[in-house]
Structure 1
Amino acid sequence: MEPVEINAGAYYLRQLRADRLLDDRPAVLAAFVDPELRRWVTGYQVEDLDSAGRYIALRDREWQDDLRCSWAVAEPTTGELLAEVGLKDLDLVRGIGSAACWTHPEHRGRGVMTQALQTALRFGIDGLGLRRIGYRHAAANESSRRVAEKCGFTLEATLHQATTVDGELHDVLAWSLVV
């Protein structure tokens, strides 16, 4: 599918970009070298501008392959990347997917993610026909817990020792939003 831009009130959701008009690579890099983000968002190695470019290209391919809708949460007047929000593991036939998100270190604690995720969820439900959306995070990640609660997810299960954080096994909270 083609990427979609969405007005999210105080923010707008747009495709991550690395072109001559808008380059999100420095902001992606700054986010992924932050120790707090690296604790919770695992599986990606973003350590320089080239790897940030590969990360952005991956998100573009995932859009094209109907696997993931991923948006830069942007400040509307400057286009500055504040966060990333997405719907991943999409199965459009069965109407299921999962939410994923992170916030740039400079923009945490301002409610950016709650509003952005609520907007992405509405798109997933109304635009893609999703009927079940999951959300998982390490149990110790209190910010993710607050976002899940504010966005209307219901806690379904605690998966014991299901992820590694700081070299140790931690529980994962599994939430769902069923329409």
Structure 2
Amino acid sequence: MEPVEINAGEYYLRAFRHDDRVDDVPALVEIYADPETRRYMNRLTIDGRPSAETFIMLMTNGWAKNYRWSWAVCDAVTADVVAGIILHNVDHYLKSAEVTCWTHPAHRGKGVLPTALNAVVGWAFGAMGMHRVIYKHSVFNPASQRIPEKCGFTPEGRLREALIIDDQRVDELMWSRLATDPAPEQLR
């Protein structure tokens, strides 16, 4: 499958790239140099150009093999990467996927992810026929909790000691949104 581009108003979502025209490697390295990003996104390590290039290669492969869909969320005016969204654990039989997302530190608290994620979920339900999208986050990350709340997700439960944050086992909260759920009325 070819990568899908999504227009989300003030944000433009496109595939992560590393080529002669667009290079997302510096932005990924900068984002993952942030201590809060590393703290909560610790299953994904981007600690320099080689790992960022590998990440982009894996995201490209996900599109090609149709098992993972990912987007660099870019400012529609400057084209700067301001966030990232990945739909992974795509199950074509159950019509479900799980979302992982992050925001560039300079763009946190500006409504980037609720706007972009709502567009991605709409695409997943409409274009791909998905029925269920799952969102999980650490109980210690209240900023991450605001995203599913704003995007119309329903809390489903607590996964006890499912994550390791700061070398400690912590609980993870799980949310879902179904294709049959009403769209959120307000994103900000």
Same fold (TM over 0.5): yes
Q: CA deviation at 1:94?
A: 2.0
Structure 1 unaligned segments of length 5 or more: list them.
none
RMSD: 0.9
- 5 Å matches for 1:72-111? 72-111=72-111
Residue aligned with 1:173, SS: strand
Structure 2 match to 1:164: 164
Give 5+ residue unaligned stretches, structure 2. 180-188
- Quick one: which amino acid aligns to residue 48 of structure 1? G
Distance 2:91 2:16 in 1: 22
How far the C-alpha of 1:45 sits from its partner, in A, is 2.0
Which position in structure 2 is the counterpart of 1:134? 134
Query: Identity across aligned pairs (percent)?
Result: 40
Cα deviations by residue, 1:69-112 (Å, 9 ceiling, x for unpaired): 10000012332100001211111232111111000111111000
1:2-28: CA deviations, max 9, x gaps? 101110011010001111111110000
1:71 aligned counterpart, secondary structure? strand
Equivalent positions of 1:1-179 (< 5 A) are: 1-179=1-179
- Separation (CA, whole Å) in 2 of partners of 1:115 and 1:45: 26
One-letter code aligned to 2:32:
F
Q: How many residues align?
A: 179
Give the structure-2-normalised TM-score.
Answer: 0.92
SS at match of 2:129: coil
Amino acid at match of 1:32: Y
Instruction: Could you list the structure 1 runs, at least 4 aligned residues long, displaced by more than 4 angstroms after superposition.
Output: none
CA–CA separation in structure 2 for the residues paired with 1:18 and 1:10? 23
